[in-house]
Structure 1
Amino acid sequence: MVHTIDTIRDLVRQQQGSRIFYRAANGRRKKEERTGVIKEIYPSLFTVYIESQKSTVSFSYADVLTREVDVQIESTGESLL
């Protein structure tokens, strides 16, 4: 399947409210791994609430498309892409 920004947006929208695990590049040789809940969906980004830190992070759909962020659905263990 060919992924575009629109298809990724639709996939994220379907998972709104779901618990996810994400791994994101955070600079040189640093990875951030957290569990959170997809909260808000916007035209160019989505937000994830991190319960352990009581904070919110945002990612663009382009981050997911270019695999700067790897998103996995916690209940199924499968990757968003």
Structure 2
Amino acid sequence: MATITSIREQVALYKGLKVRYRTAKGRRKVEERQGVILETYPNLFTLYVESQDSKVSFSYAELLTREVELELLSGSRN
């Protein structure tokens, strides 16, 4: 079973890699975008979303509860 610690360690391994993220935006709406993991912090991590030219942040708890899903895109570094 995944824990916050194991999720944090896994995300740290993805730092600098391109990922696809999916997050629920309420009432059956799902946002799906691609980004690069910029930084990892004790409670959250940040992604740069090129299509929006902006940063977004998510907590590791959102991954644990599956409010946010991350998928590594074929090991590509920028």
Q: TM-score when scaled to structure 2?
A: 0.92
Which structure exhibits the higher relative contact order, with contacts defined as CA atoms closer than 8 Å and separated by 6 or more residues? 2
Unaligned runs of 5+ in 1: 77-81
Counterpart for residue 23 of structure 1? 22
**Cα distance in 2 between the residues matched to 1:20 and 1:51:** 12
Q: Deviations over 1:1-53 (max 9, x none)?
A: x2100000000001100000011011221100000000010100000100111
Q: Deviation above 6 Å: which 4+ runs of structure 1? A: none
Query: What is the TM-score when the length of structure 1 is the normalising length?
Result: 0.89
Equivalent residue, structure 2, for 1:71: 70
The runs of 5 or more residues in structure 2 that have no matched partner are none
1:1-20 matches, within 5 Å, as: 2-20=1-19
How many residue pairs match? The answer is: 75
Identity among equivalent pairs (%): 56
What CA distance in whole angstroms lies between the structure 2 residues aligned with 1:47 and 1:54?
13
Number of the residue aligned with 1:59: 58
SS at match of 1:12: helix
